Structure 1
Amino acid sequence: MKRIVGHINDRYQKFQENLSEELSEEYKDIAALITFEILNRQLGEGVGGGRKRRKRRRKRRKRRSPL
């Protein structure tokens, strides 16, 4: 998990650096927060698999097991 968090932090930092200079500071923070949320959601669904994925796997296992 630590590795994934580090990965998010890197992307978050890069994003903050790349935000256009015209944006005022407060908008910069808001935009960064939004992307942070998006990254978190992506992680939940994809790479590390989230709660939802675990739940699905558990259901599948139950169905397969013989009576």
Structure 2
Amino acid sequence: MAGLRTTRCRMEFSDIGAVVWILRKCVWWVPDFSVDRYRDTLVELDREMRDGHPFVAFSTRHLIDAVR
């Protein structure tokens, strides 16, 4: 019996270091990511997070159970 399960994952970041870490580990999210290239955006995001507004991102995952 084949099946499909889908879930939507919520990720909440409260500091810029965690955002940089995940973007360096998951290179397919932002393929051209570098701190230098995105410095202005990261500085603004850091300001928002320090003001109490966490960065929230979502991703969707699929589990396909297939039978041949």
TM range (shorter): 0.3 to 0.5
Higher helix fraction (1 or 2):
1
Give TM-score, length-normalised by structure 2.
Answer: 0.33
When normalised by structure 1's length, the TM-score is 0.33
Q: Which has the higher contact order (CA 8 A, sep 6+)?
A: 2
More strand by share: 2
